[in-house]
Amino acid sequence: MQLDQFLDLARTRRAVRHFRPDPVPSEILEAVLEAARWAPSGYNLQPTSFVVVTDADTRERLCEACLGQKQVREAPVVIVLAADTRADRNNLDAVLGQDLAAGAIDDGYAAMVRKGVKLVFARGPFGLGSILARVVLPLIRLFRPVPSFPSVEGRVWAARQAMLPAMNLMLAAHAAGLATVPMEGFDEARVRDILGIPRARTVPLLMPLGYAAPDELVRTRLPMDRLVHPERW
């Protein structure tokens, strides 16, 4: 793909709120999820899962949890992104095992990642490690740089990870002639209950997906010089 084609894709994607009922072909749905799967993540921990909802009754219940936003009822597919705050425990062994088997990393690198992940995710007994880190890290920061600690950031860390697959998903869908709308306007606890999503997963985004109903959507963006700061703020 050429750069101008990519820019065109990025500029013409719209948050669409009216969908036709036509189903999404399964091979396109799979391709869109494949684009999401290849998004980067911290330590390659891949904490984001995708609950793919097509059932009309479930979408109706989700619509209610989304304060009646009707695109959730209209779109034939709703993808619910769930990010794992415990991806260190749940995914690290699998990720390192795969990367080692594929020759993507060596034992030394795997050991380094394991050590780093263990440190920044350390929660200690009853979460006391996270509480301690909250107190100690600002003091350490006085003397040396301190990176982001998922054990402290918790759901914020997980939600940040989920936004990258979400963007891949939206652009892939747009490239396939489909429409999406990213949504944060919902009651997370209710969405989790409806779909049986475990508590350690945070749900930062819902994504209705389908074919757009005819609509003229014009949006703007702030000018570049308001957003971009050459060299420093």
Judged by the rule CB under 6 A, the positions of this chain that interact with ligand FMN are: 14-15, 17, 69, 181-185, 219
165: number of Cβ within 10 Å = 27
- Between 127 and 185, name the residue whose CB sits nearer to ligand FMN: 185
| Residue 181 C-beta: closest distance to ligand FMN, Å | 5
**Complex with ligand FMN: residue 33 or 75, whichever CB lies closer:** 75
Radius of gyration over alpha carbons of the chain, in Å? 20
Q: Cβ closer to ligand FMN: 124 or 185? A: 185
Minimum CB separation from ligand FMN for residue 178, in Å? 14
Which of 162, 90, 166 shows the shortest CA–CA distance to 121? 90
Residues with Cβ within 8 Å of 222's Cβ and at least 6 positions away in sequence, in order, are: none
**Closest to ligand FMN by CB, 144 or 219:** 219
Minimum distance between the CB of residue 193 and ligand FMN, rounded to whole angstroms? Answer: 19
CA distance 17 to 217: 10
Q: Which is nearer to ligand FMN, 97 or 185 (CB)?
A: 185
| Structural tokens at position 121 | 């995710």
Residue number closest to ligand FMN, CB atom: 185
Whether the CB-CB separation of 18 and 212 falls below 8 Å is answered with yes
For the CB of residue 102, give the shortest distance to ligand FMN in the complex, in Å. Answer: 33
Q: Any bridge partners for residue 64, and if so which? A: none
Q: Is 133 exposed, middle or buried (0-12, 13-18, 19+ CB in 10 A)?
A: buried
Minimum Å gap between C-beta 134 and ligand FMN is 26
Judged on CB neighbours under 10 Å (0-12, 13-18, 19+), 153 is middle
